A = this chain, B = another copy of it.
Amino acid sequence: MHRLQRVLDRLVDRVDTPMPIVLVDVMQRNIDRMQAFATQHDLDLRPHVKTHKCVEVGRRQVDAGAVGITAGNVGEAEVFAGAGFDDIFLAYPVWPSGTKGTRIRNLAQTARMRVGVDNVAAIDALADAMGDEPDRLQVVVEIDCGARRSGAPPEAAGDLARAARSRGLVPAGVYTYPGQGSAGPGSREPAAQDQEAALSAAVRSLAGVGVTPEVVSAGSTPTVAFSTRSPITEIRPGEYVFCDLDNTRLGACDEDQIALFVAATVVSDWVPDQVILDVGTKAMGREGNPEKGYGGIAGSKAVLAKLNEYHGFMAVPAGESCPHVGTVVPVVPNHVCPVVASFEELLVTDTDGTLLERWPVAARGLLS
């Protein structure tokens, strides 16, 4: 029997499905392993909390040695600052719409606050928001290393740092995200090479305006294994804490490092070679495609072949028997982050199935 099914069988009477279940000892090993990797390579580890949005997990990451956390929006930063985290990097080219400028200024009162910038207009808007204390806010220039998402060209880093300095903000360094490293197993190392080259060019650009970066920050769970060389000083992986099927497919984690699954119940079985599980898009997101499916069943070749809002269509391969109605099965996400953000809390257990705690997904609905 699969290890996740074994855990689930011990918990099953206490689980109202769908429910995300965290194996705390597997998660802790993931945290410790990534910290050991960073320490070995003399890198700062600043985990991205987007994956867990959970104060208890962030504390374990910092307790293990992380220098601080990475957030994806102001709301996440506020939740963690409110819980006492005092070194936060909002790795996003934030525009201070509405009250966000004031919120960022407030954050900078209680935490060492860094935010991403990739354009002069945002630098000006942030400086305006900081009023008479712009030097309380550190900005980190986002550069693009090939993901074609956000981020300035590396050679623009110097000009942006100079613009920030001229407004009294503190230019702390540069960061990038090698999203192209998630395209397939063969894309991880080339993406990390792109990243290293772009960060090196950005550091030269900063040197041209007399800025020595405090931080040169790199992603990500898929690419981190190849992101160890100068000028990188910091890594920001997120998904490593729970892992998922996409990272397994990429070779970025092993199947036995998967620390989170969703308990789901078979609710209907009228269609041959298919059963319906009580996990739809509102639990799983719609992360996948028709070829690989939208989530896997641990210990089975079955996948979620299709999702409606409250229904998961589990396609049962030839040769496997359909689980009967009422069976609770462990569903493993393709991409774990949106799954966590769908729920109010995580049920936390150890591999013996001893129920330990419920952890609130404290930053889940805070999107601005």
Residues of A within 8 A of B (CB): 12-19, 50, 72-74, 92-95, 97-100, 103, 118-119, 121-122, 125, 142, 144, 148-153, 179, 265-271, 274, 276, 278, 281-283, 285-287, 308-311, 313, 324-326, 328, 337-338, 341-344, 361, 364-368
Residue pair B50, A310 in contact (C-beta under 8 Å) = yes
Residues of B within 8 A of A271 (CB): 144, 148-149
Residue pair B366, A121 in contact (C-beta under 8 Å) = no
Residue pair B343, A367 in contact (C-beta under 8 Å) = yes
Residue pair A150, B367 in contact (C-beta under 8 Å) = no
Which residue in chain B gives the minimum CB-CB distance to A101? B16
Give the docked Cα–Cα distance between A364 and B283 (Å). Answer: 11
Residue pair B338, A365 in contact (C-beta under 8 Å) = no
Residue pair A122, B309 in contact (C-beta under 8 Å) = no
- Minimum CB–CB distance from A355 to chain B (whole Å) comes to 12
Residue pair A72, B17 in contact (C-beta under 8 Å) = no
Copies in the complex: 2
Question: Of B12, B16, B74, B98, which one neighbours A14 at CB under 8 angstroms?
Answer: B98
Give the docked Cα–Cα distance between A268 and B160 (Å). Answer: 14
Known: A308-B149, A309-B50. A16 touches B368 (CB 8 A): yes
Residue pair B16, A99 in contact (C-beta under 8 Å) = yes
13 additional A-B pairs beyond A92-B267, A309-B337, A365-B365, beta carbons within 8 Å, are: A12-B98, A18-B367, A97-B326, A121-B326, A122-B267, A125-B326, A144-B271, A148-B271, A149-B308, A150-B267, A281-B285, A343-B367, A361-B365
Residue pair A338, B281 in contact (C-beta under 8 Å) = yes
Residue pair B15, A98 in contact (C-beta under 8 Å) = yes
Residues of B within 8 A of A368 (CB): 16-19, 278
Residue pair A97, B15 in contact (C-beta under 8 Å) = yes
Give the docked Cα–Cα distance between A328 and B328 (Å). Answer: 44
Q: Which 4 A-B residue pairings sit nearest by Cβ, starting from the closest?
A: A150-B268, A16-B98, A344-B365, A16-B368
Known: A281-B338, A366-B344. A72 touches B310 (CB 8 A): yes
Question: Of B13, B144, B270, which one neighbours A151 at CB under 8 angstroms?
Answer: B270
Residue pair B17, A98 in contact (C-beta under 8 Å) = yes
Known: A17-B98, A72-B309, A94-B267. A365 touches B367 (CB 8 A): no
